[in-house]
Homo-oligomer: A and B are copies of this chain.
Amino acid sequence: MSSEPYKSSAKSVTARALAVLAAFDVENPLLTLSQLARRAGLPVATVYRLAGELEDGRFLDRDSAGRYGLGVRLWEMGLLTPIHGRLRETAMPFLLNLQYDCRETVQLAVCDGTNAIYIEKLTSEVSVPLQSRIGARIPLHATGVGKALLAFSPEAFADAILAMPLTRYTPETITDRRSLSRQLVQIRQNGYAQSRQEYQLGSTSVAAPVLVDGTVQAAIGIVSYSLRTDMAQYVPSLLRAAEGLARRLEDALGNAYPSISEPTSEHGANGTDPMPAL
How many identical chains are in the complex?
2
Whether A50 contacts B92 by the Cβ 8 Å rule is no
A3, B276: Cα distance in complex, Å: 8
Whether B57 contacts A22 by the Cβ 8 Å rule is yes
A273, B260: Cα distance in complex, Å: 47
The answer to whether A167 has its CB under 8 Å from any CB of chain B is no
CB distance from A234 to the nearest CB of B (A): 17
A59, B80: Cα distance in complex, Å: 12
Whether B80 contacts A71 by the Cβ 8 Å rule is no
The answer to whether A13 has its CB under 8 Å from any CB of chain B is yes
User: Which range contains the number of A residues in contact with the other chain?
Assistant: 35 or more
CB distance from A194 to the nearest CB of B (A): 25
Whether B93 contacts A96 by the Cβ 8 Å rule is no
Known: A35-B273, A259-B64, A276-B2. A15 touches B57 (CB 8 A): yes
Q: Classify the interface of chain A: helix, strand, loop or mixed.
A: mixed
User: Which partner residue on chain B sits nearest A67 by CB separation?
Assistant: B262
A83, B112: Cα distance in complex, Å: 25
Whether A64 contacts B260 by the Cβ 8 Å rule is yes
CB distance from A134 to the nearest CB of B (A): 6
CB distance from A6 to the nearest CB of B (A): 10
A interface with B by C-beta (< 8 Å): 2-5, 12-15, 17-18, 21-22, 24-32, 35, 38-39, 50, 53-54, 56-57, 59, 61, 63-65, 69-72, 74-86, 89, 92-94, 96-97, 99-100, 112, 117, 122-126, 128, 133-135, 244, 248, 256-262, 271-278
